[in-house]
Structure 1
Amino acid sequence: MTAGTLARLRVVGIADTDSYVKWAAALLASFDAGEWEVELLVLDTPVVVSDPQLRAALAGSGLERVSRVSYETLRERLAEKRPDAVLVAARGPLVRVVARLAAALVPRPVIVSGLPGISTPATRKALVYRTQCDLFVLHSRREVREFDALARSRGFSQRFALTRLPFAADRRAAGSHPARTGTDLVFAAQAIVPREREDRLRIARLLVRSAEAQPSRRVVLKLRASAGEHQTHAEHDALTELVESLGPVPPNLVFSTEPMSAALETAEGLVTVSSTAAIEAVARGIPVIALDTFGVSRRLINEVFVDSGLFGSEEDVVARRLRHPSSAWLRDNYFHDPADDDLTMLLGDLIARRREGRLAPKAPLARPGGRLRDAWERKLVLGDRDRTIGGAAAKVIGMPLRAVVRGLQRVRTLVRHRTGMIGAA
């Protein structure tokens, strides 16, 4: 059964960090307003978006119903709203906690989760954390193929849904080379790619070189957060600080926290190591350089660009030798035929089953520890936002136990290392 054959379908999204709020808002807003009733709850966690980040994440989405909520009141809010489906848009550990809460509602909603950007290569952790979700949203045929193969090989029962990245809106431009008047070279910063300080310092030097090479044109370092704000991933060695450590900043090298959509309005091209911003740029017909200075690997999250034609060197960046992706790569990566999208169809079918009382329960991954383990996991992701007695008990018991377990793991690693050295000798 499709969404169109049912009464209005009610979906409540739950998100906390900048990238997940942006993704959830754009995804919910893409649903047909005549068939779907959608809203977003911004969950208070230690890394929740600030008000400026929230405004930037919502910019251009068109989503109107957005409010903040604490974990203490989340169950009550969901019970009041009685959603047909809950979209849990968050980092894996938080997905597991919120999915457990949603699964306890009566009647339980369909539980949906997903990843907010480039999700290649598929990872076991992403599957483990989303075991209790009925539907896992992905954004390219390649991602669906890789996650499905991984799930089958590891024995996970998971259904995957395909839909275009919701904030890659100007899809008709993908694969075309429209005339552009923008002159900015936009660099999409990432918190953990690359991770090492020396590599990040190398990027800082590249930004300065690029600005000095063409003083009449801006180089824009597009940031995900201002100083003191949280991101989905904790950032060390901020690029702004590294740039400033090199000496006077060229006047045409600017730092920006405006929405990516706004930054691309004046862009001649975009440079990144592996940011999803590359997909946003391609969707607008803006040329891209995927910087290959640090290699190509799972850790850099840039294997997806193999065979795209987008990889380029530092010299290419300085000279602004920007490039467009190949048509074959586009079809398999984020720019498939919209007719292939099946998210609303699959979600509508699951909601129909729920309304008919036929939605089968989906158990979480079995793990030792029972309720204490659940409380410990909740405490880890919510920190001081978890004020429950169970959370306090889990902290008292779990912290020392965690230290012991980690100590044992280090000992085992050391023993294996030394045993290997003896064997080699």
Structure 2
Amino acid sequence: MDSAPQRRATLLVAYDSQYKWARQIGRALERQDVGVTYVICSDFRHSISDAQIGEVAPHEVPVLRDRDELLDDLLDSDIVVFGIQGPLTSNLTAELVQHAQRTGRDLPVTVTGWVGVIIEKIVAGYLERFTSDVVAVNSRADLRTFEATANSLGLPTDNLLLSGLPLLSAHRLPLRENPIKTVMFADQPTVPKTLAERTYLYQRLADYARAHPDRRVILKPRHRPDEDTFHRMSKHPEILLEGMELPSNLEVDYTPVSDMLNEIDLMLTVSSTAALEALGHGIRTAFVLDLGIHERLGNQIFTDSGLLRTFDQLIADDVGEPAEGFVDDYFLEKTAAPVDLIAERASELVGVPAADRPSRSAIDTDYFAGVIAVRAFREDQRRGGAASGLKAGVQKANKQIRVQFDNSLRSRAKALALVVLPVSWLDRTRRKVWNAKRSQHPTGQTKQASAARFSSTDKPTN
């Protein structure tokens, strides 16, 4: 009978894409004889449906932990994999470091990475993860950015592991040359965001289907209408398609992309990571260019891919081939799959004393000291401590700004009145104001007269 694993890993997730990413690393850790547990922090926004769990690992349901339970649970682990988003990873890492210092315990080996291709906040995302023992890097371009950032800030770089995207295999398959029979459009919840642009893409996909009636055209939404993801969708594709006249060969399918890779001949998307997954399996791929190149679309990182195409080009079967430099950036052709490289590095570090791990040198940097100082300040301010003095000062400054703004508005109103109102009307208004002020003083004296009386009779003499 096999003995139970001696080492234990906790993998933190909040959404289905994070669970899928963590599950792949978890399987690799299991191959390293590490027992794994998937955990959702109940204090964080989260959403993983039963159907989404079933698609990834139906017999491994993540457990819920509140924040206090979680910190102790993490310190009991040998390895912690942060599958959650960057800001939560940064906050929880800082809390874990402080909790370990308070309790006199060693930190576990920590692993962070990115669920998909990084299309925004690349430097910010790295700095939210830099204290990890293993920062799994998806591409050579990302590695260059992280190393340059680290060098400029005096941060260590020995925790940067060029592993590649965990959903990719060790080697990319050659492009298929068979006729195109099945086409998939990988939809994204918030790319594009506007209703008009999303509707445009679906209409153009319908145009493609009409132009090629012999092809099966699949629209693959990111999730079902009753499910949630980290990136929230305002209008689900099924809702937008209700008012359209669709060709019979266009269908909506929720089967996971990974389960359909053997059937697909052409993958279309704006900037989904599914494109790289398809390329890795030798599937012809195109990034839809109709909406232009923009950071809000996330397709600015694909300008050198050789795969940007408009729907008119795609209808004409002008698909293109991936540029060599782009392929080399993401497909590293290493001896092991990305998830195995991550698991092997984490397992190795378990045997290294906590004081000698990469995270220790990252925690000892001035940059991390600043992170902790800001956290302490915000907590003190939230509790109404010493920082509340600054808060009061800010409120006073804001009040002064409002008064100045109000005075400025009154001055402008007066100037406008002199230009557009009759002089006789202004004279009558001035007399009314003057009489109102006089009525407030029983003696008939104005404030100016009162001030003059004070200065003449009560002014102290030398």
Q: Within 5 Å, which residues of 2 pair with 1:60-139?
A: 65-72=60-67, 73-78=69-74, 82-103=76-97, 104-105=99-100, 106-119=105-118, 123-139=122-138
Q: Is the 8 A contact 1:186 1:270 kept in 2?
A: yes
CA distance in 1, matches of 2:148, 2:94: 26
Q: Within 5 Å, which residues of 2 pair with 1:196-207?
A: 196-207=194-205
Deviation at 1:316, TM superposition (A): 2.5
Q: 1:172 to 1:112 in 2, by over 3 A?
A: closer
Identity %: 24
1:142-182, Cα deviation, whole Å (9 max, x unpaired): 2111222133334544531121322223x5443x1235587
Q: Is the 8 A contact 2:136 2:162 kept in 1?
A: yes
Q: Within 5 Å, which residues of 2 pair with 1:18-417?
A: 18-31=16-29, 33-44=31-42, 45-58=44-57, 65-72=60-67, 73-78=69-74, 82-103=76-97, 104-105=99-100, 106-119=105-118, 123-157=122-156, 159-169=159-169, 171-174=170-173, 176-178=174-176, 180=178, 183-245=181-243, 247-338=244-335, 343-344=342-343, 346-354=345-353, 360=360, 362=363, 363=368, 365-368=371-374, 370=376, 373=379
Deviation at 1:327, TM superposition (A): 3.2
CA distance in 2, matches of 1:198, 1:302: 18
User: Highest relative contact order (Cα 8 Å, sep 6+), 1 or 2?
Assistant: 1
Q: Is the 8 A contact 2:15 2:48 kept in 1?
A: yes
1:297-327, Cα deviation, whole Å (9 max, x unpaired): 3332223323322111111233444343133
CA distance in 2, matches of 1:132, 1:360: 8
Q: Is the 8 A contact 2:123 2:145 kept in 1?
A: no
CA distance in 2, matches of 1:123, 1:287: 27
Q: Is the 8 A contact 2:171 2:331 kept in 1?
A: no
CA distance in 2, matches of 1:126, 1:232: 15
1:57-92, Cα deviation, whole Å (9 max, x unpaired): 448xxxx6552213254235445xx22120111112
Q: Is the 8 A contact 1:75 1:102 kept in 2?
A: yes
CA distance in 1, matches of 2:323, 2:199: 31
Q: Is the 8 A contact 1:121 1:146 kept in 2?
A: no
Q: Is the 8 A contact 2:270 2:299 kept in 1?
A: yes
Q: Is the 8 A contact 1:139 1:164 kept in 2?
A: yes
Root-mean-square deviation (CA, aligned residues, Å) is: 3.6
1:192-231, Cα deviation, whole Å (9 max, x unpaired): 2222222212111112112222233221111121113111
> Matched residue of 2:261: which SS?
helix
Deviation at 1:252, TM superposition (A): 2.0
Q: Is the 8 A contact 2:140 2:330 kept in 1?
A: yes
Q: Which runs of 5+ in 1 are unaligned?
A: 1-6, 377-389, 416-425
Number of residue pairs the alignment of both structures matches: 374
CA distance in 2, matches of 1:268, 1:375: 57
CA distance in 1, matches of 2:376, 2:307: 48
Deviation at 1:373, TM superposition (A): 3.5
1:18-43, Cα deviation, whole Å (9 max, x unpaired): 22111111122234614443332244
Q: Is the 8 A contact 1:100 1:132 kept in 2?
A: no
CA distance in 1, matches of 2:49, 2:60: 17
- The amino acid that maps onto 2:139 is S
CA distance in 2, matches of 1:182, 1:42: 41
Q: Is the 8 A contact 1:21 1:42 kept in 2?
A: no
1:380-419, Cα deviation, whole Å (9 max, x unpaired): xxxxxxxxxx9xx99xx99xx9xx99xx7xx99xx9xxxx
1:331-363, Cα deviation, whole Å (9 max, x unpaired): 222344347976455434532223687673725
Q: Is the 8 A contact 1:122 1:143 kept in 2?
A: no
> Matched residue of 2:295: which SS?
coil
> Matched residue of 1:360: which SS?
helix
CA distance in 1, matches of 2:254, 2:113: 25
CA distance in 2, matches of 1:114, 1:224: 21
After TM superposition, the score normalised by the length of structure 2 is 0.70
Q: 1:313 to 1:294 in 2, by over 3 A?
A: same
Deviation at 1:289, TM superposition (A): 0.7
